[in-house]
Amino acid sequence: MGTEKTKTKDIKKDIKVISFDAGFTLIYTEPPVGEVYAGVAARFGYSLNGEDIHARFLETFKKQNALNREKRSDNALADEKRSYEWWKEIFKESMGDLLPPADLEKMFKVCFDEYARGDYWRLFPDVEQTLTTLRSRGYRMVVLSNWDHRLNQTLNELGLSRFFEKIYISTLIGFAKPDPGAFRYVIEDLKVPAEVILHVGDTLEEDILGARRAGVRAVCIDRNERYPSMRDQIPIISSLAELLES
């Protein structure tokens, strides 16, 4: 761990602003998506297996995310309407053959709205204390996330909004990571040079490489050892608490 700690310490030098990704950096889904979808289906009179739906959801999400990366110039996650349709497509692929079309449409709307609520999200245990300490040390903090308008409600209900000066949401700013435009939007809006911003996120492509393309330093939060082979190439932390090391 010595090498990683040194990198994290060094990369924080002269940093004034810390930008955080949201999903799986600060918060995660709980209960599993398939369980929530099955619960909504039960309200409509259908008995479905939550584990099976969850497996289908994960497979569909990965496929659609890969397709989205191939079409960056027409990024659904940088537009509210297209984002809504993108999530609807994932929902339909996950459950479309299990339900009649009319109920499928109604259920998607319910599920989409439900996921704005903090009830379906949890904070990682290292989040609140880390943010509290960073704020006490004088860092300006923002969120930069590939999300839609629902994130504002989610973070507010989880009690996280109070930590952040701004919450930048891809569908509202018109740029989605890894497009450098997303990071440049933050730079221009905060009126600070790129070199004083540190971005923290959990994905190599969207968060780390995207930030670097905009001249922003970045640290990868890798709680589940997704990128063990990258530890000699990029700063990686296993817990947000490591940001507090000085």
For residue 141, give every residue at least 6 positions away whose Cβ sits within 8 Å of its Cβ, in sequence order, or none. 17, 18, 19, 20, 131, 134, 135, 163, 164, 165
pLDDT band at 75 (very low <50, low <70, confident <90, very high): confident
Tokens linked to 45: 């009179």
Residues 6+ apart with CB under 8 A from 59: none
Residues 6+ apart with CB under 8 A from 123: 26, 27, 158, 160
Among residues 233, 173, 185, the alpha carbon closest in space to that of 211 is found at: 185
Q: Which residue has the tokens 């497009």?
A: 179
pLDDT at 68: 72
Over residues 157-212, the pLDDT tens digits come to 999 999 999 999 999 999 999 999 999 999 999 999 999 999 999 999 999 999 99
Q: What per-residue confidence (pLDDT) applies to 66?
A: 81
* Cα separation, 124 vs 239, whole angstroms: 9
Q: What is the pTM of this model?
A: 0.92
Three-state SS letters, 51-98? HHHHHHHHHHHHHHHHHHHHCHHHCHHHCHHHHHHHHHHHHHHHHHHH
For residue 101, is pLDDT > 50? yes
* Res. 71 pLDDT band, cuts 50 70 90: low
Domains of the chain: 2-26+124-244 (3.40.50.1000), 29-119 (1.10.150)
Answer whether residue 3 shows pLDDT above 70.
Answer: no
Q: What is the pLDDT of residue 7?
A: 54
Q: Is 221 in a helix, a strand, or coil?
A: strand
Task: Name which of 13-17, 34-38, 64-68, 239-243 the model is least confident about.
Answer: 64-68
